[in-house]
Amino acid sequence: MIRRRFPWLSYLVVVTGAVLTVVPFLDMVMTSFKGAGEAGTLPYHFLPKAFDLSNYRAAIDQLDLPVLFRNSVVATAVITGSVLFTSSLAGYALAKLRFPGRNLIFRLVLSTMMFPPFLFFIPHFLILVHWPLAGGNDLFGRGGAGLTVSIAALAMPFLVNGFGIFLMRQFMVSIPDEVLEAARIDGAGEFAVWWRIVVPQTRPVLLTLGLLTFVQAWNEYIWALLISTANPDVMTLPVGIQFLQDYVDPTRTMPIVMAGLVLSILPVLILFLLLQKYYIRGVMLSGLK
Partner 1 sequence: MVNALTPTTTERAAPSTRSSSPAVDGRARSRRRQAVVAYLFLAPTLLFFAVFLILPLGFALLLSMSRWAGFDLGGIQPVGTDNFAGLFADGSTFLAPILTNTLLFALGTVVLALAGSVVVATCIDNLRFQGLWRTLYFLPIVTTVVAVGNVWKYMYEPGGLVNGVLNALGLGSMAFLQDPDTALPSVVVVQAWASVGSAVLILTAGLKSIPESYYEAAALDGAGPLTVFWKITLPLLRPSLLLVCITQFISGLQSFALITVMTKGGPGDATNVAALEMYRQAFSYGRWGPASAAAFVLFVVVLVVTLAQLWIFRRKEEDA
Q: Is 79 in the site for partner 1 (CB under 8 A)?
A: no
Q: Is 139 in the site for partner 1 (CB under 8 A)?
A: no
List the one residue from 18, 47, 173, 248 that touches partner 1 (CB under 8 A): 18
Beta carbon nearer to partner 1, 109 or 205: 109
Q: Is 254 in the site for partner 1 (CB under 8 A)?
A: yes
List the one residue from 36, 47, 50, 108 that touches partner 1 (CB under 8 A): 108
Minimal distance, residue 242 CB to partner 1, in Å: 5
Residues 27-56 that bind partner 1 (CB under 8 A): 27-28, 31, 39-46
Among the candidate windows 49-57, 61-69, 84-92, 166-174, which touches partner 1 by CB under 8 A?
A: 84-92
Q: Is 273 in the site for partner 1 (CB under 8 A)?
A: yes
Cα Rg of the chain, angstroms: 24
Beta carbon nearer to partner 1, 161 or 205: 161
Nearest by Cα to 121 from 230, 223, 239: 223
Residues 202-231 that bind partner 1 (CB under 8 A): 215, 218-219, 221-222, 225-226, 229
Q: Is 197 in the site for partner 1 (CB under 8 A)?
A: no
List the one residue from 48, 135, 141, 210 that touches partner 1 (CB under 8 A): 141
DSSP result, the chain: -GGGS-HHHHHHHHHHHHHHHHHHHHHHHHHTT--TTTSS-SSP-SS-SS--THHHHHHHHHTTHHHHHHHHHHHHHHHHHHHHHHHHHHHHHHHH---TTHHHHHHHHHHHTTS-GGGGHHHHHHHHHT-TTSTT--TTS-SS-GGGGSTHHHHGGGS--HHHHHHHHHHHTTS-HHHHHHHHHTT--HHHHIIIIIHHHTHHHHHHHHHHHHHHHHH--HHHHHHHHH-GGG--HHHHHHHHHHHS-HHHHHHHHHHHHHHHHHHHHHHHHHSHHHHHHHHHHH---
Contacts of 13 (CB under 8 A, 6+ apart): none
Minimal distance, residue 123 CB to partner 1, in Å: 3
**Length of the chain counted residue by residue:** 289
Residues 58-77 that bind partner 1 (CB under 8 A): none
Beta carbon nearer to partner 1, 50 or 97: 97
Beta carbon nearer to partner 1, 6 or 51: 6
Q: Is 107 in the site for partner 1 (CB under 8 A)?
A: no
Q: Is 174 in the site for partner 1 (CB under 8 A)?
A: no
Beta carbon nearer to partner 1, 75 or 261: 261
List the one residue from 184, 199, 207, 285 that touches partner 1 (CB under 8 A): 184
